[in-house]
Structure 1
């Protein structure tokens, strides 16, 4: 089983981010206490109480103090058994990863996911990131010195209006760090962000799709050439270093999400916590979890599996699709599957539906075309 904890606080707002967070940390202690209470109230949500992975996401979980981390882990251990080899990940910003903080984090977690995004100083300022280019590289060395061998870094590509060689430079500097895992995402301009508002005012134009595609191809060539396995569209890992927690999402395993805006999944349903810190705290204070529940129809389950499974090297098992749908998936989608195969985007092999290399550029479109009613 798998546990996600959403820590909705940041030092400042990155211009591209539309995740749920607040730069006001006044009620951080109250919110952590509410999360500990939610863990106790929802321990029966999962089919079993043995955790294989724990993931602190956000927001910026590296803003947590030792007392706050200890409070959350006490609540976890009261309700669950944590496997001896559990993957325990915490997302962190480079500027938080100083020696004292790293030594404290090492007592609680065994994997860091570091939001570097770029090594270019001007681009970091344009994104309103809190760290510098020097900190982006220095934090990885400091983390290793503190005993963190299991490290992942995030990068962003498809950034408009900057020299063409900067993405290649980012890749080269990332590879020089020799981290076991790397995630890379194309910049998306979301409406409720600073970039979204800039776009509405004509101050910013997104990059052309062709630029993002070129950057993606550079990414795949560089990372696979350096021995990384491209196991999910945005994720690359050295052998044995896959992100176990995120892989659980993609492979439809049950997980519990705790905190404001956190999602949970148990197979037949999903649950969505309210994305509002005061309402979340008030709800837990009265012993209620402010959340909405969605029952998933067989078609919903198939479509979610297609949307996530096709993004991975494992693809979607036809037997699983048939079982969820209650009928022959291939027969029901014969014409569209033929079209996608003729486009060179989809292949079927050994009872599995997968994307081709060129199909990875159109993953969401392919999945949407295969959706069932």
Structure 2
């Protein structure tokens, strides 16, 4: 373990606290036992003085007085040995230079006072022994504090553990490895907030990286057609008509570059779009202008409804749907219809194979010939940003793509 880490420092603090707590418990327990012995001795001082004053001469009246005070005296050597042969605990002991001694035992919860004077033993039993110990309370407080400290340590450790995971993920992030599971929490502490913000940043960086890759691939994918047209025009005779067509090619290239920049920004930042109300016909005309296609390829059978959308992006989505419909149709034509507020793009062709959701991923294809490139992926993201869904169904040999309000 790294000795400079927060987790190591927290664990070390817990161990130091635990050791200090144990030392405090041992000291208090020892002190309690010492105080207990002194309290017991102080309690029996009057009895000790009474016994010492008799000098081992006890009559019936004295024994009766002791019994009235709930003390029972044993002066028979045999009785004393029988009692002391059982399990006993020494509470207090005191001896003098003459060899006499005095001891206090606890036997079966009762205190016994043993006098050994003038080579004679006398044992007095306290019939109403009381407990003088606070040990139970000390042990209870010790266990309670230990449990509380351990609980706080474990709770703190759980809150700090994401930092270790966060360190490992930062290393992965530096290597552009964004596909990882990470700690999520609804807690509001600083570590949880940091972890959640890191997770959001990782997702955002992943989206940015993905959008950059898509941006580059899309440039190669989409610019191929106008570049090919431009090369062809350069080989033709230079006249006003060809010059105008060449100019249109460059306008197309500029339009595509602006289109890619807008898409990249949309995917990477999830920006709030500036939406206004536009007629469907204007959006379709813009899409056809971007494509530079023959009008005969598109059959318009729609009502000129109004849509609350971002004009530039929504035109790009329509452009991609028209382009794919023509490209993958058997007759190279597309029909655009409306059904209430839904917009339908219909073409003749084979049914899409597999789950339609897969086609919304970049460059998904069942085979190299059937790749939809980035078209549907861009369409899906643009429609989603504008509050629309993209649906698909196949009926009577027709592929039907539907733009539906979400």
TM-score range, shorter chain: under 0.3
TM-score (norm 1): 0.19
Larger Rg: 2
Q: TM-score, normalised by structure 2?
A: 0.18
